[in-house]
Amino acid sequence: MYDQSVNANGLKWTETELTGVAYKLLSTDPDTGAHLMLYRFAPGSVVPQHSHTHAAETAYVLEGEFIEDNKVYGPGQSFYAQPGVPHGPHRTDKGSLVLFQLSAPLDFNVI
């Protein structure tokens, strides 16, 4: 049996400091700081190129378009970055919904 369960539909969106970018925290591992988050990117939003010091990141596009390195990706596309590997900028012209898993607490180091 699962030890955690959450219905994302019942969670409120939390706005980030980046215009048009919001998230819902779905789960956190108290031992490692790993977490699963659902991100909503409004049309025209941009996440600058960045890295994470300790967290490996996996992203999975659920809806819309996700533009990475000026290439447009759609639902079903997956991305992975080891800790310290620069990625982004991420942007969208039409909006998107992306699931992110991080292996450790999130830090956001703009490059």
End-to-end CA distance of the chain: 42
CATH architecture of 34-105: Sandwich (2.60)
Residue 37 confidence class, pLDDT cut points 50, 70, 90: very high
For residues 5 and 38, give the distance between their C-alpha atoms in angstroms, rounded to a whole number: 15
Q: Per 3-state DSSP, what percentage of the chain is helix, strand, and coil (rounded to 5)?
A: 5, 45, 50
Q: Is the pTM of this model over 0.85?
A: yes
Residue 29 has pLDDT above 90, yes or no: yes
Domain boundaries, the chain: 34-105
For residues 82 and 56, give the distance between their C-alpha atoms in angstroms, rounded to a whole number: 4
More reliable by pLDDT, 4 or 57: 57
Averaged pLDDT for residues 11-21: 96
For residues 4 and 73, give the distance between their C-alpha atoms in angstroms, rounded to a whole number: 31
Residue 2 confidence class, pLDDT cut points 50, 70, 90: confident
Residue 108 confidence class, pLDDT cut points 50, 70, 90: confident
CB 52 within 8 Å of CB 74: no
pLDDT value at residue 31? 94
Name the burial class of residue 92, with classes exposed (0-12), middle (13-18) and buried (19+) by CB atoms within 10 angstroms of its CB: buried
Residue 4 confidence class, pLDDT cut points 50, 70, 90: confident
Averaged pLDDT for residues 61-90: 95
pLDDT value at residue 109? 84
